[in-house]
Amino acid sequence: MTTETISVVVPARSAGHDLRAVKVVLHREMLRFLSDRTRMLSMLFQPVLWLFIMGTGLGSLVQGSIPGVDYRTFMYPGMISMTVIMTGMFSAGSIVWDREFGFLREMLVAPVSRGAIVLGKCLGGAIVATGQGVVILAMAGLVGVPYSGTLMLTLLAEMFLAAFTITAFGVMLAARMKNMQTFFGLMQMAIMPMMFLSGAMFPLANLPSWLHVLTVVNPMTYAVDPMRQAVFSHLSVPPQVNAMLNPGVQWFGWQVPVILEIGVVAGLGAALLGVGIIQFRRAD
């Protein structure tokens, strides 16, 4: 009796394999999101609640000091940011879920680079989060924001960039975590200060110096402010009201241009993507 040795050939890694891996991971993120309607609705509930209930309540308190502007119009860019941030972080959290059920190990042993897996995850989370943001975008007319084609495209591009960056941040956090409870606890600890200190819910003008410093070093400030600048550029508001609600970001008295703010978000997203890839290469 003779025994035959059957050789198993593992395909070598190539750019084509990596591109297919990105596509597969991205497609899986889309299917996972579209099949979970409860998650879709729950991710939209909180920003809508803040925008139409809290925004209306706060607006009734400050309407005398901001004539001609609905306070919900001011909050609108911040609620877009909240939507993409929450959705992007939850998409990144699926990595921990995949690790618990063993699916992540199957992806990591595939003949593709781990960078392709991370990139696919970040792109998938960014697209899903942007899709959620489009729903908030469709509500623009309800809060006094015009349906300008230029404005909508600008907000859409800025949403995607912010969503990619926050998903990369979530992937970096989730890369080495073993259970969902730890991830969501850390996520809440990170997200809430970032949102409150980004100018999403209150103007950045005339803040105490210590609070101004916190808003300047907060990365999400540079995601919210370009959206607000885009919205207010399509509104007709008194100069004093614009200076109060839309002061922009200043570094030592210098007004930071919007293009530089977008560059900060893009650079941070690329850096977080790189750290996430390094974390995955070290993962078991």
Length of the chain, in residues = 284
Sign, Cα dihedral of 219, 220, 221, 226: positive
Q: How does pLDDT run along the chain (284 residues), one tens digit per residue?
A: 555 655 545 555 667 777 888 888 888 888 877 777 776 777 677 777 888 888 888 788 777 778 778 889 999 999 898 888 888 888 887 787 777 766 666 666 666 777 888 888 899 989 989 988 898 898 899 998 999 999 999 999 999 999 999 999 988 888 877 777 788 888 888 888 898 899 888 888 888 999 999 999 999 999 999 999 999 999 988 888 888 899 999 998 899 999 999 999 999 999 999 998 888 777 65
Residue listed under structure tokens 């390094």: 278
Contact 141, 58 (CB under 8 A): no
User: What are the residue boundaries of the structural domains of the chain, listed by start?
Assistant: 20-55+65-192+268-282
Can you give the pLDDT at residue 53?
A: 84
The model's pTM is: 0.87
Cβ atoms within 10 Å of 66's Cβ, excluding its own = 20
- The identity of residue 227, as a single letter, is M
Question: Residue 228: what residue type?
Answer: R
For position 284, what pLDDT does the model report?
56
Assess contact for 162 and 83: CB atoms under 8 A. Answer: no
Give residue 3's pLDDT: 58
- pLDDT score of 191: 86
pLDDT score at 7: 53
Cα separation, 141 vs 163, in Å, equals 23
Residue 120, both tokens: 């696919």
Here the tokens at position 50 are 């803040």
* Residues 6+ positions from 99 with CB-CB distance below 8 Å: 105, 177, 178
Q: Residues with Cβ < 8 Å from 50, sequence gap 6 or more?
A: 75, 79, 82, 201
The pLDDT score that the predictor gives to residue 151 is: 95
- Look-up of token digits 């839309």: 246
Query: Among 196, 184, 251, which residue's Cα sits nearest to residue 78?
Result: 196
Angle between helices 71-100 and 221-232 (to 10 degrees): 140
